[in-house]
Structure 1
Amino acid sequence: MALDDLPDEHEQSEKVLDWLRNNAFGLIGGLVLGLSIIGGWKWWQNHAHQQRLQVAEEFRGVQEGIEAGELEQATSRAAGLKNNVYAALAALDIAKAQVDAGDRDAAIATLRGVGSREPAIDAVVRQRLARLLIDAGNADEAVALLSAADDAASLETRGDARFALGEGDAARDDYSAALRQLDVAAPQRQLLELKLAEVGGQPEASEAQS
């Protein structure tokens, strides 16, 4: 290519300007879209953070009400918790305070109202509710509540319910299943072994040596 064929600086500038004119709308649109996405994401992060702070503040208010013995106030504040996990934890604390105050029926009602979608929390709620139902003479309902139990504490509680119903064989099965999940050094193991012995069972050899 001859030197005369090379575009001079003016021609190059004109080509760049033409390209910018033809693509300016797309460039600006892309820039605006990018800035909108970034701004929207930051807004959402800030909004979510503010919501978490608000829920934590409401939960702290529930705790303060319980500590002050104002259970009605604590229950009222807990009803406003929109966060599923915090609402379930608040209900557990309120139910414990109600039991400590001698109001078992209120505690049962509180735990019945928990709608946790967290498996771990749901298991604790069911177990505590089942124990209260056994104490209230509704062991059959406790058994139904724990029909799908698979953790040691819930299996033990279901065994207690079946023992209360006079179902020794079924209670023995639950106690044995619970023992199989416990380490030999588990603090609750000794009591569970006593319960098993009371219904005519004994730890399997593998359990006793685990």
Structure 2
Amino acid sequence: MAIDDLLDEHEQSERVRNWLKNNGAGLIGGIALGLALIFGWKWWVQHRDQQAQAGYAAYAEAVKAIGGDDLKQAQAKVAALREASPQSLYAQLAVLELAQAQVKAKQLDAALATLKQVAADSPMKPYADLHAARLLNAAGKPEDAVKLLSSYDSPSALEVRGDALVQAGKLEEARDTYLKAMTGMDVASPQRRIVAIKLTHAGGTPPGSAESI
């Protein structure tokens, strides 16, 4: 028979009182800490949601300005958004949309400057650099485009780098780069066919008889 079964009610109540006396402060402290964590978590979630809503509102204003006729005003809106939350996805998207509008307005230098504003650790950075390299090619600065894309190995980046190398007269390097780009593309991809044509024009031979031009 267990010892507790031999204790009468008085002895058991004394044990409970003694336990609470010795451990009550820790028990209350643990409950208080748990409540603090719960309320702290709820506050953080609410604060994060409020920031997200504010960020979207500023982004919506910037997009509205970008769609207007005054790109200087749009630049100011985007700059304000970046200053408020430079690392936010909304800020990076606004930068890309502003650059696109500047390209349409034939403000290529301004578009290049805008694309450089995308944060280095942003998931949008490769996309921004790819478009910047295309603009550099269009501006007759292929060497700068090659340098900008030197750390990228995606098929799209390799294709644009190959275009820059052709423009710079480095045909052998261009052929190697186009071939690397093709290896990362689906065989049935229309873009792969385009790269095959570029490779042929650079003096190379696309792999596979089906791709011979």
- Where on the TM-score scale, by shorter chain, does this alignment land: which range? 0.7 to 0.9
Write the deviation string for residues 108-151 of structure 1: whole angstroms up to 9, x where unpaired.
111122224135x2211111001111111211111111112201
* Structure 2 residue 136 is matched with structure 1 residue 133: yes
* Structure 2 residue 15 is matched with structure 1 residue 20: no
**What letter matches 2:118 in structure 1?**
V
Match of 2:191 among 188, 191, 201: 188
Greater displacement, 185-194 / 104-113: 185-194
CA RMSD of aligned residues (A): 2.2
In structure 2, distance between residues paired with 1:68 and 1:146: 32
Change (3 A) 1:25 1:207: farther
**What letter matches 1:10 in structure 2?**
H
In structure 2, distance between residues paired with 1:142 and 1:194: 21
Contact 2:193 2:211 in 1 (8 A): no
In structure 2, distance between residues paired with 1:141 and 1:75: 25
In structure 2, distance between residues paired with 1:75 and 1:207: 48
Identity of aligned residues (%): 44
Q: Secondary structure in 2 aligned to 1:188?
A: helix
**What letter matches 1:144 in structure 2?**
K
In structure 2, distance between residues paired with 1:197 and 1:147: 23
Deviation at 1:7, TM superposition (A): 4.2
Change (3 A) 1:199 1:7: closer
TM-score, normalisation: structure 2: 0.87
* Structure 2 residue 157 is matched with structure 1 residue 154: yes
Which ranges in structure 1 are unaligned for 5 or more consecutive residues? none
Within-5 A mapping of 1:101-120 = 101-119=105-123
**What letter matches 2:22 in structure 1?**
N
Change (3 A) 1:194 1:7: closer
Change (3 A) 1:195 1:60: same
**What letter matches 1:94 in structure 2?**
L
